Chain A
Amino acid sequence: MTCELYVVDRCLPEAGVECTVAALPMKNRLKVLRAERNWSQADLAKRLGVSRQTVNAIETEKYDPSLPLAFKLAELFGMKIEGMFERDGE
């Protein structure tokens, strides 16, 4: 069942069941965006002030960045966060 922007697990208000948002994994376009600018992972890491391992973990979707880091990424690439990240399955 979907509810506008969110994928909803269950939603039966009449039965007292609140709508809950499913914890879907995140996907991102970081690798493509970085490649378009000919930046290495180390370049991007330096611009973000994080380690190269962190950039790699985000790109390979092993790690979802915090909101401040996601905003920093979006700002760096001149995009909105929702342009960079999306929930898998949407």
Chain B
Amino acid sequence: MTDMNVGRYPRTEPLAVVAAVVLIGAYLLLHLVVGTESWPVVARIGVGLMPAAAIAVAIAIELRIIRRVDELQQRIQLEALAFGYPGAILVIVAIRFLRTEGVLTSWHLGDIWPLLTVPYFVGLALAWRRYK
């Protein structure tokens, strides 16, 4: 590990971030403004996968960051993920069964997926506090 890597979090790869933002922006533009209903299936598949490609870029960035940070930061990330992944499953199961019971019937996972990231950030805060 070199001195360039010193610091809590290194700078992210700017080009990859720009690529992810462009992909999301292009998807919103094509889907909401231009309209793709009349496009061939192959083209619609391409447009539909743009957000997934942006998320893949984000995963690649996250992996590069985690490989570069020091061992304590890696542990903090591990603890955050160890909390966040089962926490996301807990949220899914809770909403699923609440819907079965006739509560929160208007909540659809497709609409509330950002909620699934909350347990990760809670785990990150807990781990951060532990090693503060």
Residues of chain A at the chain B interface (Cβ within 8 Å) = 45-46, 49-51, 53-54, 57, 62-63, 65-66, 69
CA distance A63 to B78 in the complex (A): 14
Among listed B3-11, B20-28, B39-47, B90-98, interface-contacting one: B3-11
Is B1 within 8 A of A49, CB to CB?
A: yes
Is A66 within 8 A of B71, CB to CB?
A: yes
Inter-chain contacts of A63 with B (CB < 8 A): 72, 75, 131
Inter-chain contacts of B69 with A (CB < 8 A): 51
Is B72 within 8 A of A54, CB to CB?
A: yes
Is B71 within 8 A of A69, CB to CB?
A: yes
Is A51 within 8 A of B72, CB to CB?
A: yes
Do A53 and B132 contact each other (CB < 8 Å), given the known contacts A63-B72, A65-B71, A66-B71? yes
Inter-chain contacts of B73 with A (CB < 8 A): 51, 53-54
Total A-B pairs, Cβ < 8 A? 40
Inter-chain contacts of B100 with A (CB < 8 A): none
Inter-chain contacts of B70 with A (CB < 8 A): 49-51, 54
CB distance from B57 to the nearest CB of A (A): 26
Inter-chain contacts of B130 with A (CB < 8 A): 62
A interface footprint on B51-76 (CB within 8 Å = 1, 0 otherwise) = 00000000000000000011111010
CB distance from B77 to the nearest CB of A (A): 13
Inter-chain contacts of A65 with B (CB < 8 A): 71
18 contacts between A and B (CB under 8 A): A45-B6, A49-B2, A49-B3, A49-B6, A50-B1, A50-B6, A50-B70, A51-B6, A51-B8, A51-B70, A51-B73, A53-B8, A53-B72, A53-B131, A54-B72, A54-B73, A62-B131, A63-B72
